[in-house]
Amino acid sequence: MTIQQLATLSITTVLAAACHHPVSVSFVEPADIGLPADVETVLVVNRSLPRNAGESILNAGESLATNEGFDADYGTSLVALDALASVLGETDRFEVLQLNIDGKRVDTSLFDKPLDARTAIKLCKRHDCDAVIALDALDTDTINRVIGEKVAGEPPSFTGTADASIGATFRVYDGDTGAVLDTSKVHRHTSAETTSERRDEAMAVFARNGQLQNHLARTVGNTYGERISPHIVSVQRGWYAVGSPELRKAALFAKADNWDRAARIWTKILDSEDAHDIAKARHNLAVHNELQGNLKKARNLASRAERTLSRPKTQGYSLAISERIADAEELERQMAGSSNPV
C-alpha cells in the first residue's frame, strides 16, 4: 500500500448536533523519533520479567493480594508486544519479525537491564535483521477495594474499585554494533468502579482485572510503536453547513459523502458577495482538498478563510493543516529507507 493510498484511507462523514459536522480522515503520521534509514528489518523480542520474579515468596504474596503473578505479567507482556508489532506493520517502513523468548528461562538479573551488545549482534545475524526492538521490562499492579457506606434509613451502598497500572521499558538495539538506539519507559493507569447495595455485586468489578491490564498493555505497545514508527492516525475535521441556501445545499451532498458535488457548489460561492459565506466555502474546500491529499492547496484555502473568519474552527484547522505539511516532510525522511518511500 502506497503512502498516497494510506493518506486517503478513510473518508467518513459523522453527523453531530447543531452546526458541527466533522469528517474523519486517516493518514500516516511520522514517528516521534526517526530510526536510522538503514534499519529496515526489525526483530521484536520479549525479554520482560515481572518485577521481583526471582523472589518466590514476594511473588506469591503479590499473586494472592492482587491476582497477579509471573504468568499474568508475562501474558500481559505478549499483548503489549503484539500491539507494538501491529503499529510497526502499519506502513512499509519496517519488515517486522517477532520472537517471544520464554521469560521463565531468562536470568532474572537481566530484568530491566539493556541487552548486551554481543547478544544483540548475534540475534540480528541469526534472524537477518537490522535492529532488535525489545520489551526489556514490564510490571503490572492491580489494587482492588470495596468501600461500604451506611446512611440511617437508607439501604447500604458498596463501591468496588479496581485500579490497574502498568510500567514498561522498551529499547532498540543496533544490529551491527549492539548499541542502544532508543530507550523509553512508558507508564499508564486506569480504573473501573461498580456500586451496589450488595458487597458481592460490588466485588464483581474485580473480575475485570485482566481486561484492564490487557487494555493498558495494548496502550503501552501502541505508544512505543508510535514513538519509533510512522503510523496511521484518524482525526476529525470540522466544516460549515449553515449560511446561505447554497451552503446548506452543498452540506446535503457532503453529509451524503458526495464531496465532489458539494465542492462544485462551494466553488461557485467564491464568486458571491458575502465575505463570510466565501470564507466558509474556502474552509470547506480546504477540507475537501485535504481528503484528496492536496495538502498545499488545502493550506492556502484554509489560510485565506482564516483571514475573514477568526473562529476556533478555521484557526485550528489552518494550524493543523500546516502541521500536516511539516509532518509530511518528516515522514518522507523517515520512509526513505523503506522499499516504498513517499
Read off the CATH number of the domain in which 118 is found: 3.30.160
Domain that holds residue 140: 41-229
DSSP state of 339: S
Domain end call among 229, 253, 288:
229
197 and 105 in a single domain? The answer is: yes
12 and 129 in a single domain? The answer is: no
pLDDT tens digits for range 172-187: 999 999 999 999 999 9
111 and 145 in a single domain? The answer is: yes
Q: Is residue 174 part of a domain?
A: yes
196 and 249 in a single domain? The answer is: no
Domain end call among 229, 252, 281:
229
Q: Is residue 169 part of a domain?
A: yes
215 and 77 in a single domain? The answer is: yes
Give every CB contact of residue 9 below 8 A, 6+ residues apart in sequence.
26, 27, 232
Structural domains counted in the chain = 2
Q: Is residue 36 part of a domain?
A: no
**Alpha helices of 155-258 — where are they, by DSSP H?**
199-202, 209-228, 245-255
pLDDT tens digits for range 261-296: 999 999 999 999 999 999 999 999 999 999 999 999
Q: Is residue 234 part of a domain?
A: no
Read off the CATH number of the domain in which 271 is found: 1.25.40
Q: Are 46 and 132 in contact (CB under 8 A)?
A: no
Q: Is residue 61 part of a domain?
A: yes
pLDDT tens digits for range 93-123: 999 998 755 443 333 344 457 888 998 999 8
3-state SS, residue 169: strand
What is the pTM (predicted TM-score) of this model? 0.78
Q: Is residue 100 part of a domain?
A: yes
53 and 176 in a single domain? The answer is: yes
Domain end call among 229, 254, 282:
229
**Mean pLDDT confidence for 59-84:** 63
162 and 309 in a single domain? The answer is: no
Q: Are 331 and 90 in contact (CB under 8 A)?
A: no
**Mean pLDDT confidence for 71-89:** 88
Q: Is residue 140 part of a domain?
A: yes
pLDDT tens digits for range 287-324: 999 999 999 999 999 999 999 988 888 999 999 999 99
pLDDT tens digits for range 37-56: 999 999 999 888 644 333 32
